[in-house]
Structure 1
Amino acid sequence: MYFEIEKQAIDALNKALDQYDEDIDRNFRLEFPPDPKLGDLASTIAFALTKKLKTAPNLVAEDLVSKIEVPDIFEKVQNFGPYVNFFIDYSKFSKLLLEKVDDSYGKLDKVDEKIILEHTSANPNGPLHIGHVRNSIFGDSLARLLKLAGREVETQYYVNDMGRQIAIIVYGITEMGLKIEDQEGEKIDEKIGKLYFLANKEVDENEAANTKVSELIQKYEKGEDEELNKTFEHVVESCVSGIKDTLHRMNIHHDDFVWEGTFIRNGEVSDLVNYFEKEGFVSHEDVDYIDLKFYNIEKEFVLRRSNGTSLYSTRDLAYHRYKATLGDVVLDILGSDHKLSSKQMKVIFEEILKEKAPEVIFYEFITLPEGSMSTRKGKFVSVDDLVDEAILRATKEIKSRNPDLTDAEIAPMAEKIGIGAIRFFIAKLSPEKHLTFKWDEALSFERGCASIQYAHARACKLLNKSGKDISSLEIDENWVPNETEQDLVRLIAKFPQVVEDCANKKRVHNITQYCQDLAGSFNKFYKSEQVIGSDVEDTRLILVDKSKTTIKNALNILGVPAPEKM
């Protein structure tokens, strides 16, 4: 709705601007004033006009307001200093808005753009740990946001099946006699992580074992030993299956899992290296590499080891060229420790291949406060451990608040609250900022995600209590929203605009702030206004229902469940 009334406001402004004999840029948008008392939409166009008229901005704004024909949907237009502010007539607007809110509310018109978004892509040598989870949560939430904003999005997980870590696991199986099923752990990825730890220790201490691992990499890259190929593939497939289980538990899904070995097998890595050779970019010493000093990058880009095997970086180039054939934008979510390799890739794509480089969003790492959580692994906190801990803490909190609930009733609530707490807390900070995960904040029923989920559950309870079929109700034509209702309507109306702004910036943290603002406004309405039994009961029930829908749709961007009971 804000898009529609913004257009009316801009049209009215343009008609007023036509009365000036000055040429100014008409490609402008309106803003939300910081205080509703200053109006609902504001324009800074007076600043552009004042440069032409050489008059004080506040006087230009005042004169501009006098020339505006106020559209019916607005109560008035007024200037506050240099700003031109539009005030919505909520007696008209509220009814129009609530009639438009449905299950798809917030979904924007289709954009002719396909994005290939890669995120997570952790090595399949053990379970996902807390170092990976920010990548996964941000990547999945961003994909949800972009889809809602009309983009076509395909999410990919790049599976490193040819790396040294996998070869070390295979060494443990083929040379040390270790078996995956004999290792400690409840899940297959955890067992593989244990096996990797044992084999890696042997390789670190034994030069002959180290040499053997290099031989295994060579053999697997050639692909001629079928039994060896099966062993590599079994390790990777098994670990990835465990990783998928963890991701699904977190409401995270990928459209495709692309193995890096594909680009060795289909010859695309060789084709790339041959191209670089042919064009004279390759230097030969102990290894084959591209010297990037001419592009102000000190570290060379290594293409092949001395034994002729390829590197992850070369295979990654081939993978990114493949992704570019699938869509219009290639977008990577990477840790800040990948900045150098991304800079190298950008230069190679743009300066050598003369192709469009991938876009990259970097994130800083996430840590737990010292002593905030024990782990039986000792080395790191797995995502499964993190989820288990969140659910355990949520269970204790629910029991303390609702001692009459049974364990069977608490379990599904605790899972939704625990997973929601992790996803919401991690999403709420811009990825460029370092994040320390704090349990008390994440699981707060007053300030955290649980408070937003509780607002949704409250709405569901109130609607159920009414006993009415909400879809059959109609808004009272004489309803004039009071200040509390106006605040709630105003926030519901902002949702599509928030979706568009966040999608354009490719960031999700402002969605979390919107969720908090909307839930806070609904809770204020819930506490201060009688719904059932009021003179405008049906209208307020509709407002409750539309609030519930908007909260759910906003939380869905973040992959956070919206429980009906809490």
Structure 2
Amino acid sequence: MYKKLENKAIESVKNTIQTLGWEEPSEIKFEIPPNPNMGDMATSVAFQLASTLKKSPVDIAQSIAGNLEVKSPFKTVETKGPYINFFFDPELFSRMVLESVQEDYGLLEEKNEKIILEHTSANPNGPLHIGHIRNAIIGDSLARTLRSAGYQVETQYYVNDMGRQIAMIVWGLQNLDYQMDPKGRGDVEIGKLYFQVNQELKAKPEIKGQIDSILKTYEKENPPELESMFKKVVRKCLDGVEDTSRRMNIVHDDFIWESQFVRDGSMEKILEALDEYTTQNEVLYLDLTDYGIEKELILTRSDGTSLYSTRDLAYHLFKSKNSDQVVDILGSDHKLAIDQLKIALGLVGGKSPDVVFYEFITLPEGSMSTRRGVFISVDELIDEATQRALAELETRRPELGEDEKNNIAKIIGVGAIRYYISRLSPEKHIVFKWDEALSFERGCASIQYAHARACKLLEKVSEFNPSKVDMDSLDFQNMDTLEIDLLKTLARFSTIIEDSARDLRVHPVAQYALEVAGAFNKFYKSVPVIGSDKELLRLLLVDKSRITIRNALDLLGIESPSSM
């Protein structure tokens, strides 16, 4: 809603500049001042005009403000030095916010633009662990935010089914006396076998040649029995990955297997298209020194088999042909690989992907490794979070039934994990700490509790129906400062979504959810609602807060319980 108000303010400033006979700047920017005494919106356009007009920014600001026609919903315009500050008319502004916040609040106008967003894409060699979770949570939350911003979004999981790690697992099935537990989860059993093969490789390095042979046979000859083994291993692991993802409220629209780009000839066409740029020595490679990259991009091994980078190039060309924008979520260790890929992709006519790089999560005791068997699986993380939440509920709400407590605990546990990851900029490294992630006193639980508070208050007045409230019957006079502050916070939601979608960042949404909950809690604790002389207006404000908190958390893949 702030964007609409900003556009009105921009229009007024433009008209005034034209009236004064000045040349209009290409862009007039507004911001929300840090102090409400400095206005509800402010512009520093006077700075932009100063060099052209050869005047003081203070004088320019005063000239604009003195000639500006104040239009609804603004009440006054003042200058503070070179800044022009716009103040809302409290009644008109309050009406606009309350009318804007409907059940689908935050869902913006549809855009005719398709985005393919790839995320998670963990190697199918074991269960998802907390080293993968940041990718999955950022990716899913960003997809939700982009959809809310009006984009058509398709989420994809790129399945690395032709990599050395899968060949290692196939070798293990062929050569080790290992029996998978038929009652165990497929991804866990595959992970155990992968660990055993790594132990064998340490003891017998010559095994590497046998694994290379399996990989070459699978890519070049693809005998049915070997193909069946590869597919079963990957499918078994992916079934577990999907189960875990669903527990985190994450579902991918499509799974794209890298082998399809070898089997359908796409990769060969890529190599042909790059032929004039490549060099063949022991390996086939693309020299990138002319592009400022010293490390060459190797496209095939000495035995002629492809590398992940080659197949990834074919996949990115596929994505660029089937979308208007390609978005990848990748660890910061992929920066060089992406720089190389973007150059190669440009040479074959593909779109350059927009990449969200994130730093890794570590445990307090150090980094994780599937190869070394040192990790906490996402399932273990969810189980632990749920148990901790349940223990807290046993203390806080002993009167709840077991089923209700268990359901609320799951919602709180998953919410705590997702929020803990979402709340920080992806460029910041995270050390995962249980007490911080699962604290009931701050973070996600406090936001969910604000929603539950709103629901509980509204339950007390069953006759209240927000859709039938007559705005003209409400008393907007002498509103409490906390009411106005809450309304201003609610009004920012659409702008947060627009900005987050544009910048491909989700942490502003997480931070905003906390702000809304904080503004609501201050209002709830200090402003009487039921029985007050403004009961209907304040009940409406409670309901609009409930909707906004719920919809903000939904963008983060977090449920909002009505009771806690």
User: TM-score range with shorter-chain normalisation?
Assistant: over 0.9
Structure 2 residue 343 is matched with structure 1 residue 347: yes
SS at match of 1:117: strand
Q: Which of 377, 400, 406 is the matching residue for 1:382? A: 377
Q: Is the 8 A contact 2:270 2:348 kept in 1?
A: no
- Amino acid paired to 2:143: A
Q: Structure 1 residues 371 and 201, CA, compared in 2 at 3 Å: closer, same or farther?
A: closer
**Is 1:330 matched up with 2:330?**
no
> Equivalent residue for 2:496?
498
Letter in 2 for 1:345: L
1:278-302 deviations in whole A, cap 9, x for unaligned? x1x2222222222222322222211
Report the Cα distance in structure 1 between the residues aligned to 2:447 and 2:70, rounded to whole angstroms. 37
**Deviating more after overlay: 154-163 vs 268-277:** 268-277
Partner of 2:231: 233
**Structure 1: how far apart are the matches of 2:126 and 2:46?**
59
* 138-147 vs 195-204, which moves further: 195-204
Q: Which moved more, 1:300-309 or 1:327-336?
A: 300-309
- Secondary structure of the residue that 1:385 maps to in structure 2? helix
Q: Which residue matches 2:121?
A: 121
Which residue of the other structure, out of 474, 479, 486, is the alignment partner of 2:476?
Answer: 479
Find the counterpart in structure 2 of residue 303 from structure 1: 299
Q: Tell me how far apart the structure 2 counterparts of residues 565 and 253 of structure 1 sit (CA, whole Å).
A: 26
User: What does residue 391 of structure 1 align with?
Assistant: 386
Deviates more, 1:16-25 or 1:320-329: 16-25
Post-superposition Cα deviations, 1:248-273, rounded to whole Å, max 9, x if no partner, equal 11111211100000000001111212
Q: 1:416 aligns with which of 402, 411, 421?
A: 411
Q: Which region of structure 1 is more displaced relative to structure 2, 333-342 or 430-439?
A: 430-439
- Give RMSD over aligned pairs: 2.0
* AA in 2 matched with 1:438: K
Choose which of 253, 260, 266 in structure 1 pairs with 2:264.
266
| Residue 461 of structure 1 pairs with residue 456 of structure 2 | yes
Q: 1:186 to 1:534 in 2, by over 3 A?
A: farther
Contact map agreement 2:316 2:350 (CA 8 A) in 1: no
For residue 58 of structure 1, what is the aligned residue in structure 2? 58
2:195, 2:373 within 8 Å by CA — same for their partners in 1?
no
Q: State the one-letter code of the partner of 1:478.
A: D
Question: After the TM superposition, which residues 98-497 of structure 1 pair with which residues of structure 2 at under 5 Å, given as runs?
Answer: 98-181=98-181, 186-277=184-275, 279=276, 281-350=277-346, 352-370=347-365, 379-470=374-465, 471-475=467-471, 476-480=473-477, 481-497=479-495
Distance apart, 1:456 and its partner CA: 0.3
Shift of 1:307: 1.5
Alignment deviations for residues 97-137 of structure 1 (CA, whole Å, 9 cap, x no partner)? 21221121111212232111111110000001111111111
Q: State the 1:208 CA deviation.
A: 4.8
- Tell me, yes or no, if the aligned pair for 1:218 and 1:309 is still in contact at 8 Å: yes
1:24–1:48 CA contact under 8 A, matched in 2 = no
Per-residue CA distance 1:225-269 (angstroms, 9 max, x = gap): 111111110110110010011111111121110000000000111
| 1:63-102 equivalences in 2 (<5 Å) | 63-102=63-102
Q: Is the 8 A contact 2:157 2:256 kept in 1?
A: yes
How big is the shift at 1:14?
1.4
Tell me the distance in 2 between the aligned counterparts of 1:120 and 1:371.
22
Q: TM-score, normalised by structure 1?
A: 0.95
**Aligned residue type for 2:289:** K
Structure 2 residue aligned with 1:6: 6
Deviations 1:511-550 (A, max 9, x none): 1111111111101111111111112222211111111001
Identical positions, percent: 50
User: 2-side partners of 1:117 and 1:288: how far apart?
Assistant: 30
SS state at 2:329 partner: strand
Q: Which residue of 1 aligns with 2:510?
A: 512
Kept after mapping to 1: 8 A contact 2:201/2:208: yes
Residues in 1 aligned to 2:176 and 2:373: alpha-carbon distance in whole angstroms: 24
* Residue 199 of structure 1: how far off its partner (Å): 2.2
Distance, in Å, in 2 between the alignment partners of 1:137 and 1:347 is 29
Count the aligned residue pairs: 559
Q: Give 3-state SS (helix, strand or coil) of 1:180's partner.
A: coil
Q: 2: distance between equivalents of 1:178 and 1:413?
A: 40
SS of residue paired to 1:181: coil
Q: Is the 8 A contact 1:474 1:539 kept in 2?
A: no
Q: Shift of the alpha carbon at 1:378?
A: 6.0
Q: Deviations over 1:162-215 (max 9, x none)?
A: 001111111111222433336xx8422111100111123223433553222112
Distance 1:107 1:204 in 2: 54
Letter in 2 for 1:235: V
Say which is worse superposed, 189-198 or 468-477, in terms of deviation: 468-477
Q: Aligned partners of 2:26 and 2:320: how far apart in 1?
A: 35
SS in 1 for 2:71: coil
The answer to whether the 8 Å contact 2:425/2:507 transfers is yes
Q: Distance in 2 between matches of 1:499 and 1:478?
A: 31
Question: TM-score, normalized by length of structure 2?
Answer: 0.95
Secondary structure of the residue aligned to 1:551 is: helix
Query: SS where residue 330 of structure 1 aligns?
Result: strand
- Conserved? CA contact 2:386–2:413, under 8 Å: yes
- Segment of structure 1 superposing worse, 479-488 or 395-404: 395-404
Deviation at 1:20, TM superposition (A): 2.1
Q: Which amino acid aligns with 1:338?
A: H
Classify the secondary structure of the residue corresponding to 2:393: helix
Which residue of 1 is the match for residue 553 of structure 2?
Answer: 555
Contact 1:14 1:26 in 2 (8 A): no
For residues 15 and 211 of structure 1, the distance between their equivalents in structure 2, rounded to whole angstroms, comes to 75
Partners in 2 of 1:16 and 1:293 — Cα distance?
54
Equivalent residues of 1:456, 1:563 under 8 A apart? yes
Secondary structure in 2 aligned to 1:25? coil
What amino acid is aligned across from residue 417 of structure 1 in structure 2? I
Tell me the secondary structure at the aligned position of residue 326 of structure 2.
strand
CA contact (8 A) 1:119 1:139 kept: yes
Deviation digits for residues 372-416 of structure 1 (CA, Å, limit 9, x no counterpart): 99x9x9611111111111112212222222233343232111111
Give the deviation of 1:354 after TM superposition: 4.5
Q: Distance in 1 between matches of 2:244 and 2:9?
A: 48
Residue aligned with 2:298, SS: strand
Which 5+ residue runs of structure 1 have no aligned equivalent? none
